[in-house]
Amino acid sequence: MKKTKLITAFAAATAAFALSANAATVIPGVEIFAHNEKSNYGGEPQDVISMSGFNDVGQNDNVVQSGDPATWTRTYGGYQGEWQSDDLLDGGESPTNGKIGWAVIDLGSIQNLADLHIWHIRENDGRVAADFNILFASAPTVAPSHGPTSGTSIDYNFASGGWALHSNNTDGVRNGYDVIDVSGISARYIGLEILANNGDGSRTGFAAVAATAGAPIPEPSTTALLGLGGLALIFRRRK
């Protein structure tokens, strides 16, 4: 009887941990930095992490998305709630890596990641990020800083230290939606380095970006409990 109870308790603890690890939980960004932070008809970089650029939350239908981002729907087709830079990096800034734009999202602390969901801008085809890099960092050598709020830009050099390139993406389209598997990565900062849009000479950006959490690292007490439960089972079987 005791053996059965021990097995049941061990199985329940393991199942509970597995369910918590598989839940799609959005990690809210706490701050975003970008090469130009001028408001574009109401849109600004903060909209990328507040989800107002995704659904115009608070301006049109007030629908707040929740749960797995893969199930979210867009109900607003405008662009006033998304970030479009209103200015591109050019030769005057001598941009590194040939970029025409960049953004850095601060998650507030190091997080275990699962997926990265990116919704592109919706105004027209020319302004989407048609070619962009995704990078991650836990402690970048050079801290990102806010860009100007006028019609100028500043550059950020992702090769300055602390950043790791995850992937290059060349499928950006108007109304496009990318889901990038970033499981196994632990980071505090997400870097988006825009290398090209579809030919627009003044703007580029994103509508929204949402990161989901990967499997949480079990606390020492939980790990010890599961380990002791397993050892107890082995000991009882040998008896």
- The tokens for 148 are 């100007």
Per the structure, the complete domain to which residue 44 belongs is given by 25-217
Residue 219: the pLDDT is 60
55 in a structural domain:
yes
Question: Using CA atoms, how far apart are residues 72 and 77, in angstroms rounded to an integer?
Answer: 14
Instruction: Classify residue 31 by burial, with Cβ atoms within 10 Å: 0-12, 13-18, 19+.
Output: middle
Closest CA to 135 of 189, 196, 85: 189
Closest C-alpha to 25, from 114, 107, 109 = 114
DSSP assigned state of 40: B
Q: Which pLDDT belongs to residue 135?
A: 98
CATH code at position 41? 2.60.120.260
Residue 44 lies in a domain: yes
Please report whether residue 14 resides in a domain: no
Query: Is 188 inside any structural domain?
Result: yes
pLDDT value at position 122?
84
Q: Looking at the domain assignment, is residue 93 inside a domain?
A: yes
Low-confidence ranges of the chain (pLDDT < 70): 1-23, 56-64, 76-77, 91-92, 217-239
User: What is the model's pLDDT at position 63?
Assistant: 66
* Number of domains present in the structure of the chain: 1
**Element containing residue 166 per DSSP (H, E):** strand 163-169
The predicted-structure confidence for 119-145, as pLDDT tens digits, reads as follows: 998 888 999 999 999 999 999 999 999
Establish if 45 belongs to a structural domain. Answer: yes
Structure tokens at 60: 């049109």
pLDDT for the residue numbered 15: 39
**Residue 205 belongs to some domain of the structure:** yes
- Output the six-digit token pair for 118: 């990116």
CA 118 to chain centre: 8
pLDDT the model gives residue 118: 94
**What distance lies between CA 193 and its chain's CA centroid?**
13
In a domain, 103, yes or no: yes
